[in-house]
């Protein structure tokens, strides 16, 4: 998860690489063949491939056998087909994704990475694809952050709201390393409420009442929904330009809205407004 992360450690894990065919569903030979002409010219980590650093955060991105699925995965598959590339996914810890892109060991990263000021200093960020909002999962349909006081609340380390919630809730806030850990405790009753990404909670906690957090002045992330983007190495300006061209076209022709709908999310999330950086 952690489209939401503002600070990232250079944690490293064993990377598990998988291939997903692009450009007509054939292999790399088809991608380089006469039947597929790339729409743009740019270099990638490996010729003929788009190397993607990622971790599991349904419905935005997740491992799917030898491939990947989810909103970001579908967007990249669309782009890869237009550029005659195979997708090679490298799965790792959330905190390792941005450093992997920054160092040029991956062309981009998924899923649901927010456009933040801190992140923009170390990688380039594409134009926004969709909005992702701060959400509260509870049995009571709580939407006001003020109603969280005095309750056992959990959230995931690295989200934009974590520091503000720490100050606001004090010792009643429990911080988890991943959405998986958060949801395990929520379902087991060890916490009463989860604060997480709206899309993530909708996908993983269908039995809970999930509400977009109402704006709370002391929790900055609640006042403006984050814009999701792909991170790209700073040095690869041609790749950034190609991605932005595809994202613009996908907004205009309805492809992005369809991808969101196909993954169980509201199509209105494509109404991103002007690009902005938060945090």
**C-alpha span between 59 and 232 (Å, rounded):** 21
Q: How far apart are the first and last CA of the chain?
A: 17
User: What pLDDT is attached to residue 97?
Assistant: 97
User: What pLDDT is attached to residue 279?
Assistant: 72
- DSSP 8-state assignment for residue 116: B
Rounded (10°) CA dihedral 123, 128, 132, 134 = 60
**Mean pLDDT, residues 11-20 taken together:** 38
Domain locations in the chain? 16-131+228-270, 134-222
**C-alpha span between 220 and 139 (Å, rounded):** 25
Q: What is the pLDDT of residues 49-60, one digit of tens each?
A: 999 999 998 899
pLDDT at 84 over 60: yes
pTM of the model: 0.77
pLDDT at 18 over 80: no
How would DSSP label each residue in 221-259?
GGTSPEEEE-EE-TT-HHHHHHHHHHHHHHHHHTHHHHH
pLDDT at 258 over 50: yes
User: What pLDDT is attached to residue 150?
Assistant: 94
User: What pLDDT is attached to residue 277?
Assistant: 93
Q: Give the confidence band of 34 by pLDDT, cuts at 50, 70, 90.
A: low
Q: Do domains 16-131+228-270 and 134-222 have the same CATH topology?
A: yes
**Burial 159-179, CB ≥16 within 10 A → b, else e:** bbbbebbeebbeebbbbbebb
Q: Give the confidence band of 4 by pLDDT, cuts at 50, 70, 90.
A: very low
CA distances 136 to 92, 198, 199, 217, 275, Å, are 27, 8, 11, 16, 25
User: What pLDDT is attached to residue 236?
Assistant: 98
Count CB atoms within 10 A of the CB of residue 44.
Answer: 18
**Mean pLDDT, residues 228-257 taken together:** 98
Q: Give the confidence band of 133 by pLDDT, cuts at 50, 70, 90.
A: confident
User: What pLDDT is attached to residue 191?
Assistant: 97
pLDDT at 112 over 80: yes
Which residues are within 8 A (CB) of 81 and not within 5 positions of it... i.e. 6 or more apart?
Answer: 22, 23, 24
Q: Give the confidence band of 35 by pLDDT, cuts at 50, 70, 90.
A: confident
Rounded (10°) CA dihedral 92, 122, 38, 32 = -40
Say whether domain 134-222 belongs to CATH 3.40.50.11810: no
**CATH topology assigned to domain 16-131+228-270:** D-Maltodextrin-Binding Protein; domain 2 (3.40.190)
Structural contact between residues 230 and 72, judged by C-beta atoms closer than 8 angstroms: yes
| pLDDT, the chain, mean | 88
**Mean pLDDT, residues 152-177 taken together:** 94
Tokens for 270? 């494509």
What is residue 131's three-state secondary structure? strand
């Amino acid at each position: 998860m952690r489209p939401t992360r503002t600070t990232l450690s250079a944690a490293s894990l064993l990377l598990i690489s998988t291939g997903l065919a692009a450009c007509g569903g054939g292999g790399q030979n088809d991608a380089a063949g006469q039947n597929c002409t790339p729409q743009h010219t740019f270099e990638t980590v490996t010729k003929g491939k788009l190397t993607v650093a990622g971790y599991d955060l349904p419905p935005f991105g997740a491992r799917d056998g030898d491939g990947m699925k989810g909103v970001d995965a579908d967007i990249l598959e669309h782009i890869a087909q237009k550029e005659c590339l195979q997708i090679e996914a490298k799965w790792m810890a959330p905190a390792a994704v941005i450093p992997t892109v920054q160092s040029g060991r991956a062309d981009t990263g998924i899923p649901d990475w927010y456009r933040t000021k801190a992140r923009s200093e170390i990688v380039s960020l594409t134009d926004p694809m969709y909005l992702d909002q701060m959400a509260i999962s509870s049995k009571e349909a709580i939407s006001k952050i003020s109603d969280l006081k005095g309750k056992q609340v959990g959230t995931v380390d690295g989200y934009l709201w974590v520091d503000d919630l720490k100050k606001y809730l004090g010792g009643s806030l429990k911080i988890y390393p991943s959405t998986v850990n958060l949801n395990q405790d929520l379902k087991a009753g060890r916490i009463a409420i989860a604060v997480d990404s709206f899309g993530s909670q909708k996908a993983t906690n269908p039995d809970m009442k999930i509400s977009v957090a109402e704006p709370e002045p002391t929790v900055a992330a609640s006042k403006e929904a984050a814009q999701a983007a792909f991170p790209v190495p700073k040095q690869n300006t041609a790749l950034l330009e190609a991605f932005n061209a595809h994202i613009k076209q996908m907004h205009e022709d309805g492809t992005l809205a369809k991808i969101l709908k196909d993954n169980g999310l509201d199509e209105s999330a494509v109404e991103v407004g002007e690009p902005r950086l938060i945090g």
